[in-house]
Amino acid sequence: MLRVTRARLSLLAILFVLAACATGATDEGRDNGAVATIPAVVEKVVDGDTAWFVLEGGAREKVRFIGVDTPESTTQHEPFGEEAAAYTGSLLGVGERVSLELDVDERDRYGRLLAYVWLAPPATADDREARARMLNAMLVEKGLATVLTVPPNVQYVDVFVALQLEARTARRGLWA
């Protein structure tokens, strides 16, 4: 069952990439200048792709990481779910300062804030920096998440798809 789900997710990712390319939502359309982020402090990691943060100004927000989907580790226990949650927890220690970057849609249907989680403030929105500093990208690179792109939040879809292909080719994590 999990293999079918991964195959379907991969197919969806490819379709979303094609859709993003058709609308110009690729690197060429991205401003490579300064990145607008919101300073935040880690309060609690929920699982591999969700955490609670206290934003600058004191607002407390449950944040779902944009563009990625990790296996379940809370109510269900899917293969690599615990590993994804542990990896996220190892990088998002309670009290750690991070930067959250929003995309077009700021919230999902459950009211969670949607964000790219930067472990260090990014200087630019280029692919190299995303690979090195963005938790969302790091999860995909390690094979602990699959690409899950929901337009219009497609700013880094090209980076995520390339990292997923690399992880799959190298048989890392979910692709082992």
Catalytic residues: 64, 72, 112
70, 62 in Cβ contact below 8 A?
no
Supply the DSSP string of 8-37, one letter for each residue: HHHHHHHHHHHHHHHTT-SGGGS--SPPP-
Which residue from 141, 116, 104 is spatially nearest to 49, judged by alpha carbons? 116
The amino acid sitting at 112 is: R
Tell me the torsion sign for CA atoms 126, 156, 140, 55. Answer: positive
Alpha helix (H) ranges present in the chain?
2-22, 81-91, 127-133, 135-141, 157-170
101, 36 in Cβ contact below 8 A?
yes
122 by Cβ neighbours in 10 Å (0-12 / 13-18 / 19+) ranks as buried
